[in-house]
Chain A
């Protein structure tokens, strides 16, 4: 049972464009939703995270939008750069993040120059 569904599987964007990655979850106990960025051969790095008490969080070019009623959240990368080319994973956990993370399957983002 996949608890966090992520789409698209791959995404190609031109430099300067907006990259949008979507995730949907099933478990209503989830209350912590982080996004991770992973480069080949490296461990994932936390990009940005949100809790369900807010509908949007922005950090620089990265924004999370959260829709609690729809049980969906998305990552927006504004002004996408070639250096943003990586695999992005959404995740979710319960009890404020102290419980184990459940990961989406990942989205491979390619930003063309």
Chain B
């Protein structure tokens, strides 16, 4: 099946530092990757959509200068939370669109728990 990994699974950082989260499609090429954040007991909120080799498309209200997304290859996208603050603490989840299946379903990674002290 299509597997998406994320690294790290958990990260704790100090306020003001930057954190990079990696999202990889392990056994397929993903032309599109999506980044979500999820607060406790809430639904997934799409942050941005990234396509390999082009700039990410951010959802309304998401600061592109704070959440830097790079999609350098068909199997890797990174999210960098710059100058993190406690309110950025959340569960960040990526997904990848598999072009292998005719319906283009999204496969989700296991998530990254970010805690900003």
Whole-angstrom distance from the CB of B13 to the nearest CB of chain A? Answer: 19
A46 touches B34 (CB 8 A): no
CA distance A41 to B109 in the complex (A): 11
Inter-chain contacts of B32 with A (CB < 8 A): 98
Given contacts A103-B43, A105-B43, contact A51 B103 (CB under 8 A): yes
Residues of B within 8 A of A (CB): 4, 6, 32, 34, 41-44, 46, 49, 91, 93, 95, 97, 102-111, 113
Whole-angstrom distance from the CB of A49 to the nearest CB of chain B? Answer: 7
A97 touches B111 (CB 8 A): no
Given contacts A32-B103, A96-B104, A101-B46, contact A43 B113 (CB under 8 A): no
Inter-chain contacts of B106 with A (CB < 8 A): 46, 97, 101
Residues of A within 8 A of B (CB): 32, 34, 36, 41-46, 49, 51, 89, 96-98, 100-101, 103-106, 108
- Pick from B6, B44, B97: contact of A98, CB under 8 Å: B97
Return 12 A-B CB contacts under 8 Å, by A number. A34-B105, A36-B108, A42-B111, A45-B108, A46-B105, A49-B103, A51-B103, A96-B102, A96-B103, A97-B97, A97-B105, A105-B42
B107 touches A46 (CB 8 A): yes
Inter-chain contacts of B34 with A (CB < 8 A): 100-101
Given contacts A51-B103, A103-B44, 11 further A-B contacts (CB under 8 A): A36-B108, A46-B106, A49-B103, A49-B105, A96-B102, A96-B103, A96-B104, A98-B97, A101-B34, A103-B43, A106-B42
Inter-chain contacts of B41 with A (CB < 8 A): 108
Inter-chain contacts of A101 with B (CB < 8 A): 34, 46, 95, 106
Given contacts A42-B110, A43-B93, contact A97 B46 (CB under 8 A): no
- Pick from A42, A89, A97, A103: contact of B103, CB under 8 Å: A97
A44 touches B113 (CB 8 A): no
CA distance A54 to B109 in the complex (A): 29
